[in-house]
Structure 1
Amino acid sequence: MRILAVDDDPVVLDLLKVILKQEGHDEVVVAGSGPAALDILVRDDRGFDVLVLDIAMPGMDGVVLCREIRKLRYYADTPIIMLTAHSDSRSIESAFGAGANDYITKPFDIKGIGIRLQIAERMMAENRITLDINALQSKLDGPEGQHCFALEDAVCLRGVKQHTDVFSLGNYLSTMERYRVDETSVFAGQIQSFDALYRSCTEQELATVLSEVWNSISAAADNTRLLGSYVGSGTFILIAACSIQDEWLGLEPTIKTILAASPSLKKASLGCPVAVVLGRPFRPNASKTKRVKPTFDRARQLLQKRLEMDAASG
């Protein structure tokens, strides 16, 4: 793999080159700042397979740099690994929300970097579906029910804050420190009658629905540090870096109010209001090796239980 490493500390850059060489990666280019990294990415004609960015840099920090890199056509989906201090959990969430896919905590070791690079290679091999929401919302209307992804496909929404792909959301959860797990809530949300929306909406309208639903959930949970992913069939999995048990019952009414007032949804003229149902939040599995799939499965199960309860009562 060809790697670009960005850090304002030349000692860290030298150490990274040594470690990456020991891992078998000889093609490592380094930059000492965000602007220097962007200049390299724009001018380089060979391309990089993985980008390693330090979060805490003066001037343009790693989160801002990550967001700017995602605007570059050829780096919209390139794996980005962040370097961060153990205590800087808020920046980690911001980095994933800006488009990062994984992170390594300092001080780091050879084994840790090797594992994260192996995961990056897996990400490079995956055929991930990405929607540029800003581009789709500016398109002219197309045919109804014809979309670039299947109903059940997981999709990464580019152009909305604090949203990532499901693979990266799993990385975020799996590498979370034990003390942070105890303070974290996971839950799922479902767009009601999404199959009907999928069949009746144009691609532009469906992009509007997905982005407005995500934005409404994020806005309703404005007292939380929220990160989430769209996992297909109208379902989102969400991770809040705090307990939201007390606020949970108030989220749905707030989401409903925000969606009803959305100018974008009104302009789309969907014919029926967009509604969201939320599953009960819970604390993730403590075991790192058994954390991601059991936690995501439980989020879906609790959402399904809520849907069944609503159907039975309704």
Structure 2
Amino acid sequence: MSISDHDKDAFQRLLHKTADEEPVFRVLVVDDEPSILELVKTALETLEDYDVLIASSAADAFEIILDEDVPFDCVLLDIQMPDIDGIELLADLRALPEYAETPVLMLTAMNDREYIDAAFRAGASDFINKPFDFHELRSRIKCAHELVQARRAAAKSTEVLSKLTLKSATVHQFSFDDPISIGDADSFLRYIEFDNYISQLARAKIFGSYAVSVMLRDAKLFFDLAGSTKFREAIQSLAYSIQRATEEFDCVFSYRGGGIFLILVHSTRTSDNSLKPKNLEELFGARIRHYIDDDRIEVLLSNPVSMRLLSRTAAKGAIEKSVTAVQQLEAELQNGNELAGTESVDRSQGVRPTSEKRFYERALHELFSEESHLTSR
């Protein structure tokens, strides 16, 4: 079902109308220090015209949250509080459906990685260090505000499309390069949170890690032929395989889109890296075979890139270097270069020559053609 010009005009009018009705940005600040509460409340209401409520304990905060008819748009949580700390409250918040996506910024004077890891694993969106730099505080909350606005716009678009009785499939599709959430993988961070996690480690100057990128080979072809739903299932299966393969590592990982995962392993010895493409493929294959009966789907793995003693800018550069490495490996394999990836790929796998690559592509076309059981309606 195509979208008519009339539908497009109606869609734009509804978006413009709802944009003019943007609600005030509501923030809840939770801290056991009265001076911090008043300072942050005054600053945000004066400088940004936000609607700010405060709570001096986790128990008070949760009571306020349950009493409010409309969920808060953003929550600032102090980590260290008596009785129930901020990380426990955060876990309770994330268990509420209406707060599953709410930006939650942790307030802390602690820079130990155990606190940083615990908070991000519990669902923190970002960190703000005490004592506050108010320029940075405003910047971080503005980022949260922009994120909320983007999500509201997406929700309005979905509602408008629904009202125009367009195909529901159109609403739920995503592009190949979009990051997507993975569900309940313990070490998984969403891409924005992963980026904030890297930045926080750099600010705290506690890097002693290395980055590895994992790619689903020929992911774009897979996406084009299988469609977004099957592609999402494959990416989720690969995520759980990564979770299983890294159980013995001190690490976190994220999906950045384009069929690529980033893994940050906390170790100064890259020689200890025992992540292998073959191991990942075996785990991935065990999960994915129930709906893709083909053994040519494979996983590529970059060499580890050290991230020791890096600034925030250099840390992001190291991440990009890792991503570029796995993309280059795929390009070399696609070109049929038999010498490609000798350091990154288990030689027992070999490298497919051009003729086998073409056979692989034909097999994917057969798997994901309109007649295939994978794409049948």
What SS does the aligned partner of 1:157 have? coil
Pick from 93, 109, 115 the counterpart of residue 117 of structure 2.
93
1:198 pairs with 2:191: no
1:157 partner amino acid: I
Paired position in structure 2 for 1:230: 255
- More deviation in 99-108 or 176-185? 176-185
User: Per the alignment, do residues 34 and 152 of structure 1 end up closer, same or farther by CA in structure 2, a change over 3 Å counting?
Assistant: same
1:230 partner amino acid: Y
Paired position in structure 1 for 2:199: 174
Paired position in structure 2 for 1:151: 176
Per-residue CA shift, 1:174-195, capped at 9, x if unaligned?
3333664641222221123434
Percent identical pairs in the alignment equals 25
Paired position in structure 2 for 1:270: 292
Q: State the shift of 1:10 in Å.
A: 4.0
- More deviation in 49-58 or 179-188? 179-188
Pick from 81, 84, 87 the counterpart of residue 108 of structure 2.
84
CA–CA distance in structure 2, aligned partners of residues 217 and 58 of structure 1: 37
CA–CA distance in structure 2, aligned partners of residues 275 and 185 of structure 1: 23
Aligned length: 298
CA–CA distance in structure 2, aligned partners of residues 23 and 223 of structure 1: 47
What SS does the aligned partner of 1:41 have? helix
What SS does the aligned partner of 2:177 have? coil
Pick from 320, 323, 343 the counterpart of residue 297 of structure 1.
320
Q: State the shift of 1:304 in Å.
A: 1.6
Q: State the shift of 1:9 in Å.
A: 4.1
Alpha-carbon contact 2:246-2:275 (below 8 Å) kept: no
CA–CA distance in structure 2, aligned partners of residues 304 and 118 of structure 1: 33
User: Per the alignment, do residues 181 and 312 of structure 1 end up closer, same or farther by CA in structure 2, a change over 3 Å counting?
Assistant: farther
Per-residue CA shift, 1:105-129, capped at 9, x if unaligned?
2232323322221222232344599
Q: State the shift of 1:151 in Å.
A: 2.0
Paired position in structure 1 for 2:10: none
User: Per the alignment, do residues 255 and 243 of structure 1 end up closer, same or farther by CA in structure 2, a change over 3 Å counting?
Assistant: farther
CA–CA distance in structure 2, aligned partners of residues 232 and 108 of structure 1: 33
Q: State the shift of 1:201 in Å.
A: 5.2
Per-residue CA shift, 1:87-146, capped at 9, x if unaligned?
32222223223322210122323233222212222323445999xxxxxxxxxxxxx9x9
1:50 pairs with 2:62: no
- More deviation in 111-120 or 33-42? 33-42
- TM-score normalized by the length of structure 2: 0.66
Please list every run of 5 or more consecutive structure 2 residues that lacks an aligned counterpart in the other structure.
Answer: 1-24, 156-168, 339-350, 352-377
- More deviation in 179-188 or 87-96? 179-188
- More deviation in 19-28 or 147-156? 19-28
Alpha-carbon contact 1:229-1:237 (below 8 Å) kept: yes
What SS does the aligned partner of 1:237 have? strand
1:283 partner amino acid: S
Alpha-carbon contact 1:70-1:99 (below 8 Å) kept: yes
CA–CA distance in structure 2, aligned partners of residues 115 and 86 of structure 1: 20
Alpha-carbon contact 1:129-1:149 (below 8 Å) kept: no
1:272 partner amino acid: D
What SS does the aligned partner of 2:29 have? strand
Paired position in structure 2 for 1:116: 140
Paired position in structure 2 for 1:138: none
User: Per the alignment, do residues 67 and 289 of structure 1 end up closer, same or farther by CA in structure 2, a change over 3 Å counting?
Assistant: same
Q: State the shift of 1:80 in Å.
A: 1.3
Paired position in structure 1 for 2:213: 188
User: Per the alignment, do residues 148 and 129 of structure 1 end up closer, same or farther by CA in structure 2, a change over 3 Å counting?
Assistant: farther
- Identify the structure with bigger relative contact order (alpha carbons < 8 Å, sequence gap 6+): 1
Query: Runs of 4 or more off by more than 6 Å in structure 1?
Result: none
| Larger CA Rg, structure 1 vs 2 | 2
Pick from 39, 55, 65 the counterpart of residue 63 of structure 2.
39
